Amino acid sequence: MRINQYIQGQPCWVELASHDALAGKQFYADLFDWEIQDMPIPGGIYTMFGLTPDQDAASEGGDVIGAAYQMPKEMTERGVPTTWLVYFAVDSVDETVEKVKAEGGSLSMGPCDIGTAGRMAMFIDPEGARFAVWQAGDHIGARRQGEHGTLCWVELASRDPESAKTFYPKVLQWTSQAGDMPEFEYTEWLVGDKPMGGMLQMNQEWGDIPPHWTLYFTVDNCDETVAKARKLGGKECVPPTDIANVGRFAVINDPQGGFFSVITLNSEPNT
């Protein structure tokens, strides 16, 4: 399905900072059948991921769904892992910056304009989870949803869910509700009346892994995608597992150590 607009608070873009962007982008292109378009930027290359354009794509920016770039050497030397970052659409980046600061988060980059594409900023929430926001100009974000290789869900792993349920609604105007997970407590994030993400509480089994956001990509067949990832050099962190009334998911590490989830949904994702 083609997307022409995002509203305040919706996930709108994903971006991979990789220790080896050349190898990393090829892994994802092969895994999800993404197309690759390299764009020169100061200091390197910004790779746009996309799906085969549909009939309506024409000159509207193509069917891009995310991007990747080489992580700066200084970040790699500090031990920052290969990481996926989610961007949320906002009406005003500058107003969001002030809200984040007021609620105990911190600004890690920006705010700044990206040419005529839009305005962005990156943040760290009060627990240390990283996220970004995007105020659209010429570029609204991902152009496709609801099909193989597209983002369908974002999930916060938190050690203090009650704090997160205060922070994110005030910053991004979300609401929350209890999710239908009989085995454990789960929170769903809503924009308007539509769930678009979730949150689970980290326990001792998570060890010293810091709070973080995880991205879920829709796939036609979870098991086949995991097997393909293994052949491409990825690793299975969580094997294909059924989620009652939702679908079948798995967690994968790419060859550079970046993690993400794939899911075959029982029904169409919320859009």
CA distance 13 to 11: 6
**Count of H-run helices and E-run strands, the chain:** 5, 16
Place of tokens 């979870």: 222
pTM of the complete model beyond 0.85: yes
Q: Which pLDDT score, from 0 to 100, does residue 244 have?
A: 85
Tens-binned pLDDT, residue by residue, of the chain (271 aa): 889 999 999 999 999 999 999 999 999 999 999 999 999 988 889 999 999 865 554 444 469 999 999 998 888 888 889 999 999 999 999 999 999 999 999 999 999 999 999 999 999 999 999 999 999 999 999 999 999 999 999 999 999 999 999 999 999 999 999 887 767 789 999 999 999 999 999 998 999 999 999 999 999 999 999 999 999 999 999 999 999 889 999 999 999 999 999 999 997 544 4
Q: Which pLDDT score, from 0 to 100, does residue 253 have?
A: 96
Q: Which pLDDT score, from 0 to 100, does residue 10 have?
A: 98
CB of 175 within 8 A of CB of 162? no
DSSP 180-232: --TTS-EEEEEETTEEEEEEEE--GGGTTPPPEEEEEEE-S-HHHHHHHHHHT
CA distance 102 to 100: 5
Q: Which pLDDT score, from 0 to 100, does residue 271 have?
A: 40
- The domains located in the chain, with CATH, are 11-136 (3.10.180.10), 151-265 (3.10.180.10)
Q: Which pLDDT score, from 0 to 100, does residue 52 have?
A: 80
Q: Which pLDDT score, from 0 to 100, does residue 41 have?
A: 87
Q: Which pLDDT score, from 0 to 100, does residue 22 have?
A: 92
CA distance 141 to 50: 11
Q: Which pLDDT score, from 0 to 100, does residue 249 have?
A: 97
CA distance 238 to 223: 12
